Amino acid sequence: MRKYSSYFATALLTALTCLGAADTPRAVPVTERFPDFSWDRVPLYMHIRKSTGFTPEELRYLAGFPLIAFEKTTGATDSGSTEKGTLAAARAVKRLNPAAKILYYRNVIVHYGGYAANAPLAAIPDPFLVSHDGRGKLVRNTVEAYDLTNPKLRDWWVENAREVCADPAIDGVFLDGNVKVLEPGYLRKDLGPERKQAVVEGYHAMMAATRVALGPKKLMVANLVRARFPDAGIGWLGAFDGSYFEGFETTVGTIPREEYVAKGIAAAQEAARRGAIVAFTVGMGKLAEGETGNAQLTDEIRHRATSETETQRRLTYCLALFLICAEKYSYFLAHDGYDATRSSTWLKRPAEFERPLGPPTGKAQRERYLYTREFRHASVWLDVKNEQARITWR
């Protein structure tokens, strides 16, 4: 295993100066590193997994997206591991659309199976977090959590990201689990405040080291910005090229729902205006919190919308949310789960995605919880308090 101790020494200094600066410059121009972008139509994002190989029809569909994240377990059944399955899918898409930017999924704290890299993990002493009373599997009481205070564990994690991203078919890494690490209360009772803080510091060091290991040409997109944080996580964005957005309407704390959504809109606008990639994802069905079985551990599972009218209303509302926030390098995904074999939105392309959009004529205007914004070919009206929206296409 290649060691990254020297990277960590450099990366720690980098972390002190860049992790809090969302406009940290990169050595490679954005136009070379970032996905293609156009206002001609609604700019789209894809986040998907399928444990078997994608069919020719599915690959043609995927090739139509400028930015794609292949989730954990992608191709693992057919190829033998998530790494090999992701590479096979990425290479197949690149043959159809060489310009597509493809991200490899890694969780920064949750230990998932299906990765070939998990085999050498057995040689690392104490790779997982253990509670005060000796309990392991601290994530949902069923899954191990990485001990980010362990330098050998961090070396192992960074090496896997570097190795897979070194393939020309992979354009960067999608980093999940950031919110779990950074949320002050998560695992605090299990670990105690001092060890919890040490985990956070280890995470920041690992992210800075990953940036060094991947080099300036690869993307790092994190599941990071959330209204739940005092500054919505904007202060941590500097280590990354952008953020994935989920749970946009799921209120955390005592703040009213409409205020929580409004704060999320402001955060998305701020990130987008700073030039960050915004991978804006929203659910088309209600979150199926009562689902049981292993699928709950590998996907955001949602109930399928049964009414065509309700589906259309929901799509309009979600798309309006996105358009109020969007700037260059913002991309939209409405979905009902990330498993291609379960999703009813997979292989679908709503009529709204084919309509001419055109660039915005200015920033969104806000009056309390009402938002409006004009595009060359569309007018957007959004009421987050009453969850209503209109998009008038011209």
pLDDT tens for each residue of 10-43: 444 444 334 433 344 455 778 789 999 999 999 9
- Please state, as a whole number, how many other Cβ atoms lie within 10 Å of the Cβ of residue 188: 14
The CATH class given to the 5-355 domain equals alpha beta
Beta pairing partners, 22: none
Q: CA-based Rg of the chain, rounded to a whole angstrom?
A: 20
pLDDT recorded at residue 310: 83
**Rounded to whole angstroms, how far apart are CA atoms 340 and 277?**
24
**Rounded to whole angstroms, how far apart are CA atoms 288 and 136?**
26
**Rounded to whole angstroms, how far apart are CA atoms 46 and 61?**
10
The phi, psi pair for 186, rounded to 5°, reads -70, 120
Q: Which long-range contacts (CB under 8 A, 24 or more apart) does 371-379 make?
A: 371/265, 371/320, 371/324, 373/323, 373/324, 375/39, 375/323, 376/39, 378/323
Task: Spell out, as residue ranges, where the chain has pLDDT lower than 50.
Answer: 1-25, 290-299
pLDDT recorded at residue 66: 98
**Rounded to whole angstroms, how far apart are CA atoms 327 and 309?**
29
pLDDT recorded at residue 302: 60
Question: For 250-276, what is each residue's pLDDT tens digit?
Answer: 898 899 999 999 999 999 999 999 999
Looking up tokens 């939105």, which residue turns up? Answer: 345
- Please state, as a whole number, how many other Cβ atoms lie within 10 Å of the Cβ of residue 9: 11
